[in-house]
């Protein structure tokens, strides 16, 4: 399979890892931003092949993991309404709110549907004019373009029964939060390749400069990851503070301008709570006022729902790279994929789930 097989080639990966080994002279802490990268690292056992000087810590880039608890409780409140068909990406169904998850709501009779694309939800709204169709629009910059496209599509079709529960988050403010936190250990970043496919990487040089931390835009296959690590280690060893692109087959400096344009047409930056981390200023996207007719929070009046996190779960410390999942007292005991206490154990991209599945 082209663009996949060659990036999993053992010989090539080994060559890059040998080069990392020749380059590294002292310990470095790198963070991969994206949960998809965490999973690829664990799934291929890439971390086991790296020289011991390199420590990878896992970043907050799992959209399911960082969706705040109150947003999930709002989703559950909306899904419980008899007139609602609640649509979500699959991962989100198992994420525990403060009482239930969407799976158990479905078992209680709520109409909860897994969709593969937000446009499927728009289609459902067309087919069910007597129902209110709500799409749970979560994710980073990667999922924002299709999600806002569904709003534009619904608007073009004149649909009055379609709305979105928006919980979008953005990478750059999260990087600021991690690098600016007291006790930060991260010395180099592997930026999330798919986020950069949409957004480009022009937002990162100021961050790299402000904190003196090099960044390599990195893909998701083992060879991509090894290459991103190599570029970052080279910069660290030379004392360079730059942003380099280790994923040029997908990412350009400017990114996808058309996708950025529709995002900015529909969404605007807002303050957002991150599950386990707390409020990060301007770290989220919300609907612009001119699209408030499509705002499910307003339509179903759930904005007042606020909730507290489980005190046992250390998701926040894991998502900021302070701790590894297996340093959590609940890991693998009271918290498992079938009974997750916190979101990183839920999603296919969550760091705790990756550790549990591949690394225990």
Partner 1 sequence: MSETFPTSFEGPACPLPLAHHEQIVMGHGSGGRMTQDLIRRVFYPRLASEPLSAGNDFARLSLPDEANLAGTLVVSTDSHIVTPLFFPGGDIGRLAVCGTVNDISMAGAIPLYLTAGFILEEGLPVETLERVAASMQAAAREAGVQFVAGDTKVAERGKVDGLYINTSGVGWVPAGRSIGGEGAQAGDAVLISGTLGDHGIAVLQARGELGFETRVQSDVAPLNGLIQQVLAAAPHVHVLRDPTRGGLATTLNEIAAQSRVGIWLEEEAVPVLPAVQAACEMLGFDPLYIANEGKVIVIVPEAEAEAALAAMRGHPYGQNAARIGTVRADPPGRVLMRTLIGGTRVLDVLTGEMLPRIC
Q: Which residues bind partner 1 (CB under 8 A)?
A: 1, 4, 8, 10, 13-14, 36, 42-49, 63-64, 89-94, 103, 114-117, 120, 138-140, 142-143, 194, 222, 336-338, 347-349, 356-360
Residue 139 near residue 147, CB atoms below 8 Å: yes
| DSSP state, residue 67 | S
Minimum distance from CB of 222 to partner 1 (Å)?
5
Ordered strands of the 267-274 beta sheet: 111-114, 84-88, 132-139, 162-169, 278-287, 267-274
Minimum distance from CB of 232 to partner 1 (Å)?
19
Tell me the pairing of strands 215-218 and 243-245: parallel
The total number of residues shown for the chain amounts to: 360
Minimum distance from CB of 218 to partner 1 (Å)?
15
Residue 37 near residue 226, CB atoms below 8 Å: no
Nearest to 341 by CA among 308, 317, 309, 305: 309
Minimum distance from CB of 184 to partner 1 (Å)?
27
Angle at 73 between CA 155 and CA 165, to 5 degrees: 10
Give phi and psi for 222, each to the nearest 5: -55, -40
Minimum distance from CB of 241 to partner 1 (Å)?
29
Minimum distance from CB of 136 to partner 1 (Å)?
10
Toward partner 1, which CB reaches closer, 104 or 317? 104
Residue 168 near residue 144, CB atoms below 8 Å: yes
Instruction: Estimate the share of the chain in helix, then strand, then coil, as percent rounded to the nearest 5.
Output: 45, 20, 35
From residue 280, give the alpha-carbon distance in Å to each of 169, 172, 178, 312. Answer: 10, 11, 10, 22
From residue 67, give the alpha-carbon distance in Å to each of 101, 115, 170, 172. Answer: 13, 18, 12, 16
């Amino acid at each position: 399979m082209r663009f996949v097989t060659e990036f999993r080639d053992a010989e090539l990966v080994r060559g890059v890892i040998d080069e990392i080994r020749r380059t590294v002279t002292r310990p470095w802490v790198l963070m991969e931003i994206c949960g998809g990268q965490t999973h690829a690292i664990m799934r291929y056992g890439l971390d086991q092949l790296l020289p011991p000087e390199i420590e990878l810590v896992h970043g907050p880039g799992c959209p399911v993991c960082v969706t705040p608890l109150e947003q999930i409780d709002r989703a559950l409140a909306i899904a419980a309404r008899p007139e609602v068909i609640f649509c979500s990406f699959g991962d989100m169904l198992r994420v525990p709110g403060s009482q239930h998850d969407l799976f158990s709501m479905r078992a209680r009779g709520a109409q909860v549907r897994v969709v593969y694309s937000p446009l499927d939800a728009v289609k459902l709204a067309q087919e069910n004019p007597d129902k209110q169709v709500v799409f749970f629009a979560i994710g980073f910059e990667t999922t924002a373009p299709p999600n806002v496209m569904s709003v534009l599509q619904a608007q073009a079709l004149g649909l009055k029964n379609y709305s979105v529960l928006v919980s979008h988050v953005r990478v750059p403010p999260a990087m600021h939060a991690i690098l600016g936190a007291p006790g930060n250990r991260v010395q180099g970043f592997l930026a999330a390749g798919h986020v950069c496919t949409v957004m480009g990487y022009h937002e990162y040089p100021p961050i790299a400069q402000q904190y003196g931390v090099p960044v390599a835009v990195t893909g998701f296959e083992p060879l991509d990851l090894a290459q991103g690590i190599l570029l970052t280690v080279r910069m660290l060893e030379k004392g360079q503070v730059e942003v380099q692109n280790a994923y040029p087959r997908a990412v350009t400096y400017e990114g996808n301008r058309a996708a950025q344009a529709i995002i900015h047409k529909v969404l605007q930056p807002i303050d957002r709570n991150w599950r386990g981390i707390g409020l990060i200023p301007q770290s989220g996207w919300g609907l612009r006022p001119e699209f408030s007719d499509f705002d499910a929070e307003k339509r179903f009046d759930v904005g007042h729902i606020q909730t507290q996190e489980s005190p046992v779960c250390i998701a926040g410390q894991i998502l900021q790279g302070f701790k590894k999942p297996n340093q959590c007292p609940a890991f693998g005991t009271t918290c498992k994929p079938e009974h997750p206490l916190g979101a990183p154990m839920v999603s296919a991209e969550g760091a705790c789930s990756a550790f549990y599945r591949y690394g225990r």
